[in-house]
Amino acid sequence: MSRLKHIFFLIFFFCVQLQAQEIPTSTITLKNGETYRGEIVLRTEEMVMLKTKDGKRYQFQTREIEKIGAENILISEETANAKINRGSFAGMMDAAGGVAFANATPIGHTPTMNFTLAFGSRNAFGTNAFAGAGAGYVTVAGNESVKIQSFIPLFFQTNIPLKNTKISPAIGSKAGYQFSLNDEYKGGAFLNLSGGIIYKLTSITSLYFGLYAEALGISGTVIENNELGEFTKQGNATVYSLGFKCSFLF
């Protein structure tokens, strides 16, 4: 868990450094048709001094200038993203933890953790929603009656912001099948629903924090109680999970 926290901290710090920074840029058009582009470092009623991107400085008399146009360039979003030019392709990395329990099984209220990675589109359904497919790793802690249960989930995932703002409420879902890595219980279909807040770091990166609820079908040893007492048999059960999740969209 300590290594995981460090990794997420490094990812968060890197993303914050990528956030857009606006540089004021001006274009000076002279009456003779020449144009110069750069940052205005000095301006008076009689003259204008311009510093270009390569560090050169130019001084113009105001009577020589036809017009001055100003603009803002987003060096980390528009410029950097244009270089990346990867379209709507995106990935989503999840880390979650909570409590799992399954009625009629030896699995009591026990800690659970899962880590997943999905790839897909950041512009699904004609919106700014994420939709994709992925895989991961899930563990359910054991007890004196059952050992640790591990699963490999394959799933389809969505994450949908409800507003087109920097900070927005959002909902998410995963649906698929979890394959068991143990002999005691076999995996099955599962559904995971979540709700929380998404924070837009840059035009291509976001952080999502929320609560989740999950239901997973399993088959294996189940407990049956009747008038004769408690018995165990082979059957089906559902593992329910509740907890907190953090996602990184990139």
- Secondary structure (3-state) at 212: strand
Q: Which whole number is the average pLDDT over 96-113?
A: 89
| pLDDT confidence band for 71 (50 / 70 / 90) | low
Phi, psi of 236 (to 5 degrees): -110, 150
Say how far apart CA 157 and CA 122 lie, in whole Å.
Answer: 12
Say how far apart CA 96 and CA 209 lie, in whole Å.
Answer: 10
pLDDT at residue 67 greater than cutoff 80: yes
Say how far apart CA 208 and CA 32 lie, in whole Å.
Answer: 54
pLDDT at residue 97 greater than cutoff 80: yes
pLDDT at residue 148 greater than cutoff 80: yes
Rg of the chain, C-alpha, whole Å: 28
Q: Residues with Cβ < 8 Å from 103, sequence gap 6 or more?
A: 237, 238
Among 49-58, 111-120, 222-231, which range has the highest average pLDDT?
Answer: 111-120
Q: Which residue has the higher pLDDT, 182 or 179?
A: 179
Phi, psi of 64 (to 5 degrees): -85, -15
Q: Residue 178: its pLDDT value, please?
A: 97
Q: Which residues pair with 20 in a beta bridge?
A: none
Architecture of domain 22-83: Roll (2.30)
pLDDT at residue 126 greater than cutoff 70: yes
Q: Residue 85: its pLDDT value, please?
A: 46
| pLDDT confidence band for 86 (50 / 70 / 90) | low
Domain residue limits, the chain: 22-83, 86-249
Q: Residue 186: its pLDDT value, please?
A: 92
DSSP tag of 205: -
Say how far apart CA 205 and CA 90 lie, in whole Å.
Answer: 9
For the segment(s) 86-249, the CATH number from 2.120.10.70, 2.40.160.20, 2.40.37.10, 3.40.50.2300 is 2.40.160.20
| pLDDT confidence band for 84 (50 / 70 / 90) | very low
Q: Residue 17: its pLDDT value, please?
A: 47
Q: Residue 208: its pLDDT value, please?
A: 97
pLDDT at residue 74 greater than cutoff 50: no
Helix (H) or strand (E) holding 106: none
Question: Can you give 133-166 as a three-state secondary structure string?
Answer: EEEEEEEECCCCCCCCEEEEEEEEEEEEECCCCC
| pLDDT confidence band for 246 (50 / 70 / 90) | very high
Strand order in the sheet with 47-51: 57-61, 47-51, 35-43, 22-30, 65-74
Say how far apart CA 125 and CA 116 lie, in whole Å.
Answer: 22
The per-residue DSSP string of 9-64 comes to HHHHHHHHHTS--EEEEEEEEETTS-EEEEEEEEE-SSEEEEE-TTS-EEEEEGGG
Average pLDDT along the chain:
83
| pTM reported for the whole predicted model | 0.64
pLDDT at residue 72 greater than cutoff 60: no
Phi, psi of 13 (to 5 degrees): -65, -40
pLDDT at residue 113 greater than cutoff 80: yes
| pLDDT confidence band for 15 (50 / 70 / 90) | very low
Range 95-108 burial, b when 16+ CB lie within 10 A, else e: bbbbebbbebbbbe
pLDDT at residue 158 greater than cutoff 70: yes
Q: What is the largest CA-CA distance in the chain?
A: 104
